[in-house]
Amino acid sequence: MDTHKKIVGLKTLQRILARLRRQGRTVAFTNGCFDILHFGHVQYLEKAKGHNRVLIIGLNSDRSVRKIKGPQRPIVAQNARAAVLAALACVDYVTIFPEDTPQKLIAALKPDVLVKGADWKGKEVAGSDVVRKYGGKVEYARYVPRYSSTNIIDAVLLLRGRRKCQCAA
């Protein structure tokens, strides 16, 4: 499927999922900012895809990323983040949501499986109550240590600082 056809609005996604469910497909959902895509994300998304699942990604809008991560984020704009995610073979659909959490989106989509990183175990996962209420399940994908957008940004800034120092000497 063309990458741009994988990026859809809520109403279109609901129609697509209704058709896929009639075909007996299992819908998995995960969400995040995915500001700088890295190895940890890829591992996590491949796990979320599972066997024969339809993987939906709820992508935080630029506004919601700024609210969650601060005024310097996102580094990459929402349409570009959505396109990069949609280009991954394991991702079936991407939808952008404006709220701070995907609670409303999850309630509207009713995924069979909600997937979060294992670093969320023991924490309140937005939408988990809704998913469990209608018989869905919550899964945790293994967390890959040292891989996070924040760590990558910090490393780049540190490297940039070192270069400035080396040039000034």
**How do residues 118-159 score in pLDDT, each as one tens digit?**
676 777 888 899 999 999 999 988 776 677 767 777 777 777
Query: In 3D, which of 25, 24, 27, 36 has the Cα closest to residue 154?
Result: 36
Q: What is the pLDDT of residues 51-92, one digit of tens each?
A: 889 999 999 999 999 999 999 899 999 999 999 999 999 999
pLDDT band at 162 (very low <50, low <70, confident <90, very high): low
**Against a cut of 0.85, is the pTM above it?**
yes
Query: Which secondary-structure segment (H or E) carries 55?
Result: strand 53-60
Query: Which secondary-structure segment (H or E) carries 95?
Result: strand 93-97
Q: What is the CATH number of domain 3-168?
A: 3.40.50.620
Computed over every residue of the chain, the mean pLDDT equals 89
